[in-house]
């Protein structure tokens, strides 16, 4: 549904290392970089990180990356944990969303809630 999304980060280097790892597990890569601004995707950059331009703490964002299957959700989770992410929720089925909703939730270096989700049966 979204063409692209950008978030601001406090430490571009730490966030780049995190997103390099977790997005690679989802089949995405760093596609463009303009100084500290980095765009990730497969065919064109759909997710961007850039340095924060405002004073004070950032508000938490929730970002959910779609995956083709549950194994990819698991790969995302493993990459995130290996990259030092705080675990919010390990991969599991969330029947309160719908019967096939399989997701994992972690915190990125800025405290954002980052999810990988599959909507297909196991």
Inter-residue contact 60 to 111 (CB < 8 Å): yes
Average pLDDT, the chain: 93
- Averaged over 48-73, what is the pLDDT? 89
Strands 102-107 and 113-118: antiparallel
- Domain annotation for the chain: domains and CATH numbers: 5-52+60-118 (3.10.180.10)
pTM above 0.85, yes or no: yes
Q: Which secondary structure element, helix H or strand E, spans residue 122, and what is its range?
A: none
> Helices (H), strands (E): how many in the chain?
2, 8
Q: What is the pLDDT of residue 1?
A: 54
Q: Which of 72, 64, 61, 60 is nearest to 46 (CA)?
A: 64
């Amino acid at each position: 549904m979204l063409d692209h999304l950008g978030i601001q980060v406090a430490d571009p280097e730490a966030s780049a290392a995190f997103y390099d790892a977790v997005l690679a597990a989802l089949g995405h890569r760093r596609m463009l970089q303009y100084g500290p601004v980095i765009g990730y995707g497969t065919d064109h950059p759909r997710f961007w990180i850039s340095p924060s331009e405002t004073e004070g703490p950032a508000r938490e964002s929730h970002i959910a990356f779609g995956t083709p299957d549950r194994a990819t959700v698991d790969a995302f989770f493993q990459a995130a944990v290996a990259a030092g992410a705080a675990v919010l929720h390990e991969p599991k089925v969330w029947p309160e969303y719908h019967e096939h909703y399989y997701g994992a939730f972690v915190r990125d270096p800025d405290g954002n809630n980052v999810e990988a989700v599959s909507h297909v049966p196991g």
